[in-house]
Structure 1
Amino acid sequence: MTDQRSQAEIVRNSLKRRYRKERRFRLYGMLAIFIALASLAILFADIINKGHTGFVKTTITLDVALDSEMMYLDDPTDEDQLSMADFVAPIIAALQEHLPEADSAAEKRELGRLIGTYGASQIRDLLKDNPELLNTTQTFEFLAHDRVSVYVKHADNPRYSIKVSEQQQRWVDELLEKGIIDTSFNDVLFSRGDSREPANAGILGAIVGSLLTMLVTLAIAFPVGIAAAVYLEEFAPQNKITDFIEVNINNLAAVPSIIFGLLGLAVFIGLFGMPRSVPVVGGMVLALMTLPTIIISGRAAIKSVPPSIREAAEGVGASKMQVVLHHVIPLAMPGMLTGSIIGMAQALGETAPLLLIGMVAFIVDVPGGFLDSATVLPVQIYLWASSSEQGFVELASAGIMVLLTFMITMNALAIWLRKRLERRW
């Protein structure tokens, strides 16, 4: 009896130790999940805190008298006169109507710096397109200078350095009280390309460039990747050559993306002489990078199709090709689509390979085709984040939010397709 009791006590103590270890293991797992979620929440909070003001623009609305004598312009259809005319003077005069104390030459120059550099271009373009508006008064909505915009949006935030003078601050406060200066949704961000001035910079060019690049990537990587997966899984003989190919496909999935950029630079640009900084080359480089992911996920999806499907099809006289095309591929397609979308989402966020093929160039115009110079969202964010101007900091964070929205949407689409189309056996 004593031996039985001692053995029972040993078993109970052993069970207690095992239960304690299990509880500790669960605690460690929960702690790891908590740390990961907390880090993610801090990251998103920081991005949103810095980037939400990027979706807000600061405007100055003025009634501008388009006086021909003030602008030294008699004929708006004359290109020589347009190039020599003074389109800043009427803007300063319109500001003086609300700030009459600014009458010296130095104060007028300070007053003119409240408006962005593209304010004069707005007047010039209007008169060029509508010469009959000369010597009339028109209402303009000008974008405020970047420093003014930073002051309006972040005057109470010590992290931002206010670079407008005290006199300009008083003028801005007065114009804010009168409703001349206002803030609204930044439609410029989604309607223009890049600019040297943050207030006029947009991501439309980068969005279109990303779309064109992804279309090229999809057109190359999806059919080639699916065809390779089907061949390796269904038709390829099991020998040393196919084993070598399979090993290298798995290794390529782990190769740093910058290596594919070097490959694209050497082959597509150096060997074939293709143009730099165009979506076609960028899409081809990203297709090479995405192919291993699509092939691996495609093979996994094909393997998940039960052998009974193949056996039943062969039992009614279907050929090998008919079995694959009519039964295996349709049933494996949900998994193939999921892997392809995840691979495309990974390609959408890549920067390093595109930097090497020249898609880091400063692109103002929105690309109109696959052979036009373009940039992509990650590279645009990189360019803005590396700029020293404070306005570009919030634009970079806003661009990150847009990029994350696209990537989360693509991953959510992959999950939805998998749930919607998958078959349970």
Structure 2
Amino acid sequence: MAGAARHGLSDATAAVAARRRIEALWRIESARIVAGLARYTGELALAEDVAQEALAEALVNWPREGVPRDPVAWLLTTGRRRAIDAFRRRSALDDRLPQLDTGPAPERPDDTDDDVLTLMFTACHPVLSREAQVALTLRVVGGLTSDEIARAFLVSTATVQARITRAKKSLGAAAAGFRAPQADELGTRLAAVLSVVYVIFTEGSSASSGDALIRFDLAGEARRLARVLARLMPGENEVHGLLALLELTSARFPARTDADGEPVLLEDQDRRLWDDSSIRRGRATLRSAEGVGRGLGYYGLQAAIAERHAVARSVADTDWERIVALYEALATLAPSPVVELNRAVAVSMAHGPAEALPLVDAVADDLCDSHQVAGVRGELLLRLGRTTEARTELRRAVSLCGNDRERTILHRKLADLP
């Protein structure tokens, strides 16, 4: 690094520092960089390719030459040059260059011209299957790895990679350009976009792997996108329902970990740390979802459950009967093993572990690779006094858990067993 000697850093130290800064930058800005290049090139697949090439060039040059004053602009400029090179290689320079948007990227697009939102709707093109829409958008917008997406959907990494590859080819074959959908197209793509925002937030609020329980960058990006959607589509109750769910869930973030980053269970959380402003926003947004007049949907019902937790003074004070009823409505509207598992937990709090255990057993095969099933089953068995079986389940939960912080809790529970 030219600046390394000036700052008294060894080449190795400077290289490590530059790499860390690049990784942090990419984690925060990758979606906007890909979106800006997609608007420039008109092709999502090419935009991601040249963005990755620009990142690779930064990893080589920045440790040696120093991190530029405006690293995002550097990556965008480099990506644009790589895009032009790609068009040259296709021997179509004269045909394609006039189509490139050569104007400067806006520093902060307005809500209806948000590049990242446009990127999401492009990735959720109707030519793609729902699974492909979600996987591709998580990859290019959420910045999740194939492994993380696979864990979120309980499928193999190879399956996710194949979906993303096919999705890019399908978009190219359909000549799907990079543009915000017209008003009459929004509804058909909305369900996929909401699903993507939800999964991004889920990965952020309870990271499936790594040494942090909460990935604030992902959770924050999901909330930002949900707010944009709520302003863009004020008449859609599920948009408001999703935003309400994200606000009410993130309100508990300050109390979910201690000073060392270790998880704090719900019953042990200091509820005075919960974000009152986020709770107020969430409850107001939930009222907006109810006011649309078509009843609460999948996300709205979950937000109503989160609201019951948000207004309770303690676990014992929580209206568990109401939560059980809301989960039953959710299971009727959108049945899934995960919903049934959460309903079982609520039933255990409302009616006891004996009534809840058969509900967990009923979904155990569907969620056989989930540490949550083993963890919940271990808790219920422990409450029933079946300690030996509880120990077996908690050990299984440890072996399946991919998050270091969650594993710490499970180890602690094992150590506390009689």
Q: Please classify the TM superposition score into its range, dividing by the shorter chain length.
A: under 0.3
Q: Which protein is bigger by CA-based radius of gyration?
A: 1
Q: Which has the higher helix share?
A: 2
Higher relative CO (Cα under 8 Å, sequence separation at least 6) belongs to 1
Q: Structure 2-normalised TM-score? A: 0.20
Q: Which has the higher strand share?
A: 1
